[in-house]
Structures are given as C-alpha cells and as structure tokens.
C-alpha cells in the first residue's frame, strides 16, 4: 500500500494552496486527491464562462438544499466545484477579504492567532496585486488581483454617484485601509484569464517530484487506528483503493464535503450517525452544524441607456466581444458581470458595515435559473441591484442520511430563522428602492421589472424576499474552529478535537461568515493552515508514523 507524508482530500481553492505550500521545501511527499477532473476548459478559464459552469454536472456537485421554511419551503440551489480548483474554478472571481473586525471576532471567540493583524500577512503573501506592494497588499504572489475600475461598464459610475448622493462614501479598494463605501470590485484574473488557486498555486507545483495529483478519486472515508488517522479510502473508476498518510490527513473539501466525509468516517454527532447507519468512532456534535451563508435578492430595472445586455445579447455583439478578447484579452468577456457594489451601514447607529451591495450592468429575467447563461442576457437594456446581510445570524446544518459515500448529504441552511435576519432583509430591500429612486440612477430607470412597483408594503417586500432570495454561494462554518470540543470541531491550529493526525483547512472552519465573498479568506486560511502544518512538522507537534 502506498504512503505519503501528507494526504490532502480535495483540490479546491484551499487544497491547491495547501498542496503547493507543503511540497514547496521538497522535504515531504504530498498526495492530492480530487473527486472531479481537469479545469482546463474554456468555460472555466474564460472569466465570463462561469455562468455556464454553474449548471454543468461534469464539474459541479449541483446540490439542492432541503426545503427552507424561511423561503416559503423552497429549496436553494448550491453549486459547488467538482473539479480542480473547486468552487474557485466556477465562482464570479470577486476578490473581497472581509472586514478587519470579522477576524478580530474570530480571535475573540477563543481562536488566538486569527485576528486581523495575524491574518493580514497571509492575505498579502498570496497576492499579486495591481496596486503593488503596500502595507495592505502584496505583489509577486500566486493569485493576481485585477483592478477593473477603468474598464467597468459606464453605468457603474452612475451607481457610485447615486450612492454618494445618499451619503455613502466612495472607495477605490474594498480591501484597503478603508474598505467601507461603494465602488468597483477587484477580481481574480490574470491577463484576461481566471486566476484561481489551481492556476496560481497547483499548476506550477505539479512540476515537483514530491507532489502527486490524482483526479476522479472519490474519497469514501478516513482510515483510523484507534483515534489516530492513518490514511484514506477512495474509489477510482470501479476500484476501491487505500493510501496511508505518515504524518497527516488534511481535509480541504469545503463546507459541504468536509463534514460529509467526517460523518462517513464515524466522526460527528453520535445519535445522528447511528440514525444514518454509520458506526460511531468519535462523538463530535458540532460536525455539520453552524452552517452560515449569505442570502441575497436582486431588483431588476429597465434602462434608457445601453447596458451589457446590448453588448452581449445580439450575435454581432458576441462577435465583437469575442474579437476584442482575442485581440487584447479585454472587454466584457475578460470580467465578471458583478462589477459595482459596496459595504454600507443599514442605519447611522450600525457599528460596522452590515449590508453588501451589488450593481451588475446586466439582467436575466426571461430565462429560468436552470438555463441562465451570462452570454444570453435579456433582449433589452436593463440592470440589477442586489444586496445581502454581511453577517447573518441564522445557522443551518449538513448531515449524511446513509452510509453511501456517493449520496448527497442533506443540507438545511435555515435561512431567515432569526428576527435579525428578517429585519435585515426588509432593511436591505428598502435600501435598493432608495437607490433606484435617487439621481443620477433614477434618471435612466424606465421601469422596475422585479419585484414590480405593486410591491410596496413591508409585508409585501418581505414576502417577495422570501419568494425570490437565494444563496450568494458562500457557505461556511460546518466544521467550526473554537476551543470547546462540544461546540467546535477543530482548535485554533485546525486540528480535530479528540483525534490525531487529521486537520481541516477550508472555509468549513470559519467561526462566522466573513463580510463579503469567501474565496479570498479561504486562500488566506489555507496559507495560514499550511504554515501551521509545517511548523508542527518541524517541531514534532504532530508525530510521524512509520
């Protein structure tokens, strides 16, 4: 049976970073296992192609949640990357770290070393930023951060001016010294191509002799001797195979697959595991709990000025956009459609920005979500405004329903299950309406497509939110980090409470969801987690096995 120093499960955003860092010094052998296949397709590498990958079962787990009471018993569609690069290969590429206070909260919840000053060096380490090296940004790192403010659609300027008219400040960098306000999002692209952790970290690292990547490998369980992890079992093709880890098994499966694999391996809430038909190895009640996600709704407006619809809908527009991209890797194909936005306070007394805004100079109202493609927007000039609460207080759960490793787990996000989240939903909806009613944006609006002007009362606005709101694809927290084994899954060094030889390094360990998009903080956590693994390996903090 083969053995490696480290066996990493999941070649997603975090796994690619961890594999690169652990193999960097050449001292350790590393095996990276991925359930999906190659990311070398045009729809992944072309920035605007992510609209298509959201519904491609060959590279996407395509989960659906259980019916959610807060959404009128609707289920929510959760795309998750089943491909090299994971969800970072199918996301909208928006680069947002989160507020400094987010990480100070993590530290204050009993996780030393996770405050903003502690994690900033790891954000900077991975960055190759258009703004160059500063106290807040890095240059020369593996992930390129592109400032598209000069190339964003002209309507983004109207959105910013409108927000300023409402008293919000403008910012040129949501990740800089003052990230509060409105502006244009930075994105993860390099020379017009997606800048994922697969491209930035894993691809160069695969030239090393001590790193091996195996794709199409569905890991079915972690192998244990007593309470110490020794390796993993996985299916490749029709063969069940095993591989040993001399030092550690590291889970990088993300907020859905990491708790799923733990539960399949007998680690989780004891009663829940018995109900699912799994023998209990270690009672860890927090596995799969504490799930958090951002929930958003979009308001759609027709416009008297051209939008991206006018560029991308006609065949001639597609041809022009394609030729422009071939000429200099520029134009709309080189960017996300999520261009404008910001972080604002819902009211003057809010202690920190608590709403995230999105302005996209494009609309999709005439096709169902299951067929929506970014290159086929509405055949008329329109745009959308959207928002989500930055730090929702609702908590959900993820749990297996059988011992079958190929069966999808049950996902219950429990959206809108707290009074605060309901209040935030109504507050945000009213803010979108205020923005749309304020010049200069109001000067170009010719109508409201959705929800429609007939939706006016608080009850109607809230009901519309329940009817149409959906995930922003930011699930975290299902293997939460914390000091209490009864309430957390891993400690502040990402080691599982009560078990040896196994860690989790991905967004599932986040104690609370960050204020914004979650890809950048996942890369940071992977950088910091890999550094911890190497520190412990050097100091003997994790004993090697022969």
The catalytic site residues sit at 474
Distances (CA, A) of 365 to 357, 443, 467, 473: 19, 22, 15, 20
| Rounded Cα–Cα distance for residues 377 and 374 (Å) | 6
Q: What is the Cα–Cα distance from 166 to 187, expressed in whole angstroms?
A: 26
Count of all residues that appear for the chain in the document: 546
| Cα dihedral 371→375→378→380 (10° resolution) | -170
CA–CA distances in Å: residue 141 to residues 123, 128, 197: 10, 5, 11
Among candidate residues 201, 189, 253, 252, the one with its CA nearest the CA of residue 50: 189
- Residues 221, 400: Cα–Cα separation, whole Å: 13
Classify 153 as helix, strand or coil.
coil
Cα–Cα distance, 178 to 265 (Å, whole number): 44
Do the beta carbons of residue 138 and residue 126 sit within 8 Å? yes
* Residue environment code for 277-308, b if the CB has 16+ CB neighbours within 10 A, otherwise e: ebeebbbbbbbbbbbbbbbbbbbbbbbeeebb
Angle at which helices 419-436 and 155-165 cross, to 10°: 110
């Amino acid at each position: 049976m083969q053995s490696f120093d480290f066996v990493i499960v999941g070649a997603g955003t975090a796994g690619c970073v961890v594999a690169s860092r652990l193999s960097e010094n050449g001292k350790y052998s590393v095996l990276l296992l991925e359930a999906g296949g190659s990311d070398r397709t045009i729809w992944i590498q072309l920035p605007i192609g992510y609209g298509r990958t959201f519904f491609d079962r060959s590279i996407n787990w395509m989960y659906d949640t259980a019916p959610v009471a807060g959404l009128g018993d609707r289920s929510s569609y959760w795309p998750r990357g089943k491909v090299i690069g994971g969800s970072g290969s199918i996301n909208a590429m928006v680069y947002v770290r989160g507020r400094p206070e987010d990480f100070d909260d993590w530290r204050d919840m009993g996780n030393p070393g996770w405050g903003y000053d502690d994690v900033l060096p790891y954000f900077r380490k991975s960055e190759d930023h258009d703004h160059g090296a500063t106290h807040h940004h890095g240059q020369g790192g593996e992930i390129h951060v592109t400032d598209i403010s000069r190339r964003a659609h002209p309507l983004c300027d109207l959105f910013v001016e409108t927000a300023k008219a409402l008293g919000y400040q403008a910012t040129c960098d949501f990740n800089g010294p003052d990230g509060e306000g409105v502006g244009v999002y930075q994105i993860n692209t390099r020379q017009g191509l997606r800048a994922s952790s697969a491209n930035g970290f894993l691809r160069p690292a695969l030239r090393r002799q001590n790193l091996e990547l195996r794709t199409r490998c569905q890991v079915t369980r972690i192998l244990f001797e007593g309470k110490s992890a020794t390796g993993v079992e996985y299916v490749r093709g029709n063969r069940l195979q095993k591989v040993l880890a001399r030092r550690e098994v590291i889970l990088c499966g993300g907020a859905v697959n990491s708790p799923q694999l733990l539960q399949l391996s007998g680690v989780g809430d004891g009663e829940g595991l018995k109900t699912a038909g799994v023998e209990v190895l270690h009672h860890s009640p927090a596995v799969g709990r504490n799930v958090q996600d951002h929930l958003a709704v979009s308001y759609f407006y027709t416009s008297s000025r051209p939008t991206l619809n006018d560029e991308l809908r006609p065949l001639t527009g597609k041809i022009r956009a394609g030729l422009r991209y071939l000429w200099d890797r520029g134009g709309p194909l080189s960017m996300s459609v999520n261009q404008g936005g910001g972080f604002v306070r819902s009211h003057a007394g809010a202690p920190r920005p608590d709403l995230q805004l999105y302005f996209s100079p494009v609309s999709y109202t005439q096709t169902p979500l299951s067929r929506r493609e970014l290159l086929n927007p509405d055949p008329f000039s329109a745009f959308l405004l959207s928002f989500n609460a930055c730090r929702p207080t609702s908590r959900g759960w993820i749990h297996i329903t059988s011992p079958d490793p190929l069966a999808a787990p049950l996902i219950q996000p429990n959206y809108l299950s707290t009074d605060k989240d309901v209040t935030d939903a109504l507050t945000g909806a009213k803010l979108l309406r205020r923005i749309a009613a304020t010049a200069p944006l109001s000067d170009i609006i010719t109508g409201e497509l959705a929800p429609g002007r007939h939706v006016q009362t608080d009850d109607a606005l809230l009901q519309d939110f329940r009817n149409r709101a959906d995930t922003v694809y930011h699930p975290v927290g299902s293997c939460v980090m914390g000091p209490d084994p009864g309430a957390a899954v891993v400690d502040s060094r990402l080691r599982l409470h009560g078990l040896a030889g196994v860690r989790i390094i991905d967004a599932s360990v986040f104690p609370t969801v960050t204020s914004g998009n979650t890809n950048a903080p996942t890369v940071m956590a992977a950088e910091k987690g890999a550094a911890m693994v190497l520190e412990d390996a050097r100091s003997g903090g994790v004993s090697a096995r022969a």
